[in-house]
Amino acid sequence: MTRTLSIFGATGSVGLSTLDLVRQHREQYRVVALTANGNAADLAKLAREFEPEMAVVADEAAYPALKEALTGTATKAAAGPAALIEAAQMGADWTMAAIVGCAGLPSTLAALEGGKTVALANKEALVSAGELMMAAVERSGATLLPVDSEHNAIFQCLAGGRIDQVRKITLTASGGPFRTFSLDQMRAVTPAQAVAHPNWDMGAKISVDSATMMNKGLELIEAHHLFPVGLDKLDIVVHPQSVIHSMVEYVDRSTLAQLGSPDMRIPIASALAWPERIETNSLPLDLAKIGRLDFEQPDLVRFPALRLARAAAEQGGATPAILNAANEVAVAAFLAGQVGFLDIARIVEQTLSGYVPNAPHSLDALFSIDAAARAYAETQMDILPDAA
């Protein structure tokens, strides 16, 4: 049986890895929708190859270029937020949610409401709107499959196990490119250094999040929603080789780990074929060549994002959405050369302490909190802690 697929964020790192797997297994999958933000040229190229029914650019300014590039094909070109929702409502059997940032939330939620299978890479959506998203899963009966390598590892370690028999879940973290840097060295790092991750090849935003370790903080909140064992049972350990992707310890002290080369095609393949397996061209794991696996405690002084994210998870309500919104603003400012690397966590912390809304009960309420937190974070760019 051919499975129909929609891929949101098709032109990004996760989107392209997903399409790479589809390319290897063309007979099993049929792509019905592909989306991007403004990159009409790459989206059109992918649409010509995979022949979806619909190709959507979120940015309406990119529509004329997309329309022209798709002339003579059977793919309908569309643009804007409503078109993204329309694509999410096409009823694909399997949807890859790989838009970066909270911008992916409406389409991810719309796909979940459809009650089919959603593979989630877009962690910011779950961090901001965890309760709303999990309620949608409950309501529609959708299957939510984690794609983030850590959560996919946990999902695999839980197969055949019972969540009430879990003693601890440990997320592994590579520690990013600045794991051994002093605070003084970190103060001077450039965007180019921050996006050069030692193990993983990823989009710019998640690469910076890995460098600040906010990525692990966001993943802690993500795990809190996906695997409800309680925050006190969620742990983080730094593991620089990125070979063990996460671990589950059961009450009998048996610990299950999932291992693999650091290649996103492996967790994506697991979600794409689930509950079956498909072959990938990824490198096999050569443990003798790797030689050793190291582990260390995360340093909350040099990586305050971890502390901020855990506190946000404990506080719940709108706090994780504020954390995420401020982080998106701060990372964009860092990538644009407007603030320094250490300012990212500072801006997030100042936004969290300066802006206290009510808990979001609806998507509209959540988006107003998100917008207000972004506006507040913008005002914190040049305000140093003493003056804040």
Residues making contact with ligand NDP (CB under 6 A):
9-15, 36-39, 58, 98-100, 103, 121-124, 148, 200, 202-206, 264
Q: Are 217 and 304 in contact (CB under 8 A)?
A: no
Closer to ligand NDP by CB, 153 or 345: give it.
Answer: 153
Most distant CA atoms of the chain, gap in Å: 62
Smallest distance from the beta carbon of 45 to ligand NDP, in angstroms? Answer: 12
Using CA atoms, how far residue 106 sits from 97, 99, 111, 127, 129, in Å, is: 11, 11, 9, 14, 10
Helix, strand, or coil here: 37? coil
Report the nearest approach of ligand NDP to the CB of residue 125 (Å): 8
Q: Which two tokens stand for residue 235?
A: 């742990």
For ligand NDP, give the closer residue by CB, 13 or 117: 13
Using CB positions, name the residue nearest to ligand NDP. 12
User: Cβ closer to ligand NDP: 39 or 350?
Assistant: 39
Residue pair 297/202 in contact by the 8 Å Cβ criterion? no
Q: How far is the CB of 318 from ligand NDP (least distance, A)?
A: 20
Contact 109, 119 (CB under 8 A): no
Nearer to ligand NDP by C-beta: 325 or 350?
Answer: 325
DSSP 3-state of 44: helix
Distance of closest approach, residue 150 Cβ to ligand NDP, in angstroms:
9
Listed as own residue / partner, the contacts of 178-186 with beta carbons closer than 8 Å and 24 or more positions apart are 178/211, 178/302, 178/341, 179/238, 179/240, 181/302, 182/302, 183/301, 183/302, 183/342, 186/302, 186/341, 186/342
Give the residue with the Cβ less far from ligand NDP, 303 or 350: 303
- The minimum distance between CB 383 and ligand NDP, in angstroms, equals 27
